[in-house]
Structure 1
């Protein structure tokens, strides 16, 4: 069959996709259109930029000195000199190749915490552990405004939390919080870590809460709040969820799969409804 070509030139070689209107509701790459059989150049370049930003987020070191200087100047910062620690992963390549090394402190950091515990008689309810993880950018962008929402609420309530000096960890993973909490003899530990960057979220921070931290605990004993950032879960909402989980953990003396986040009003309404949703109402 003979192919018929248009008799007049087209001004725009890009054929738009009718789904492009849905893109205002999501960061997903949908409705991009096409140029011939290819993705339009502007979308290809945007994808390559996002990929480069994700790589940078993984490999850029955390500016701990600047971070400590910023946080200790805040009125809500817990008392005591911040503790600067390091995992057993000596450098970034080792961190990426040996995840197990990122879950434990090196000997020097263990000694720092043991000395602190020996010199300080304070009994801590809670320890915040700030970890670079897989995105230092996430920590640098989100840690100060989020803690500024959370800590004042924890220390000013009817039952204020006794909070340990802030702990900063290089080349760390989530489970390293258990090691730190155990050495500090803290009742609860909250790990704030840079999450694995996506192609639209290189700045996503995660929160992991463990009651009774101890080396060897699995993820089943942790509660997670993910995607804390302005374009994801905003700071007031993340702080509200964290306060609820912390207060419930202290009341029930547990965390993990046995502790449910019931901050969503619809979940509470559903719990009060004895009707079985599998059976239609007559």
Structure 2
């Protein structure tokens, strides 16, 4: 029994350091009841995250409370959640694009529900706040746009309409059985309709305390923005330089100065 107890204690210590399902109990050839119930519960949470709707009005209010005037909303061509899940192509295009008011600016922010309403409800506003704190004051930021039934590429259409030089799309990532509220951030420089995935940079797995923290994600995005402005494009040729001695904010300030 002492050996069994020691083994259980070892697995318990390891499980506290990861969200992965490791050292699960067995009942004959199957998982034990506790593991089966936990797996079922995680699957239900993931399904809820995919099928739930974001409180758009509440999100707009929370973003306005950060100091933004004129937060706008759009909807994709997918009329409902069922269509959105079956037709990814419709989620990449805006149904009411002409209703958006052009704003201009160095950077646009588009908040998309994506495949996890839970991620947006929990992480979008603090992520925008962290990004604003990390950006130098010389970078002009347009008021965010909240997009419903949206995929990443919808942000290119929004950014082109707004007239911004770059865009960060915050979107709920596909839920897994370990994490159902993970947020992704996609940076596109000189965004335009028809951009392909290789022309963007992604910062994923944003869901503190277990995933990437807001401040760290914000500094990576600012570093990528600085690099994109130097390189003239975003995408596969652009690498994260946030660990360099010179900070991303300093690099952007230098570019603005001259």
Same fold (TM over 0.5): yes
CA distance in 2, matches of 1:73, 1:21: 42
Distance 1:155 1:264, change over 3 A: closer
1:35 to 16, 22, 27: 27
Shift of 1:54: 0.2
Distance 1:248 1:213, change over 3 A: same
Give the equivalent residue in structure 2 for 1:82. Answer: 71
Structure with higher Rg: it is 1
Within a 5 Å distance, the mapping from 1:46-85 to structure 2 comes to 46-74=38-66, 77-78=67-68, 80-85=69-74
Give the equivalent residue in structure 2 for 1:151. Answer: 132
Shift of 1:234: 0.8
Give the equivalent residue in structure 1 for 2:97. Answer: 110
1:178 to 152, 156, 159: 156
Shift of 1:235: 1.0
CA distance in 1, matches of 2:184, 2:193: 20
CA distance in 1, matches of 2:165, 2:200: 13
Give the equivalent residue in structure 2 for 1:274. Answer: none
Shift of 1:155: 4.6
What CA RMSD, in Å, does the superposition of the two structures yield over aligned residues? 2.0
TM-score, normalised by the number of residues in structure 1: 0.80
Shift of 1:145: 1.3
Shift of 1:43: 1.4
Shift of 1:35: 2.3
Give the equivalent residue in structure 2 for 1:269. Answer: none
Shift of 1:38: 2.3
Shift of 1:33: 2.1
Per mean C-alpha deviation after superposition, the further-off stretch among 33-42 and 59-68 is 33-42
SS in 2 for 1:217: coil
Within a 5 Å distance, the mapping from 1:180-259 to structure 2 comes to 180-230=158-208, 231-259=210-238
TM-score, normalised by the number of residues in structure 2: 0.87
Shift of 1:24: 2.4
May I ask how many residue pairs the two structures share in their alignment?
A: 239
SS in 2 for 1:99: coil
Give the equivalent residue in structure 2 for 1:142. Answer: 123
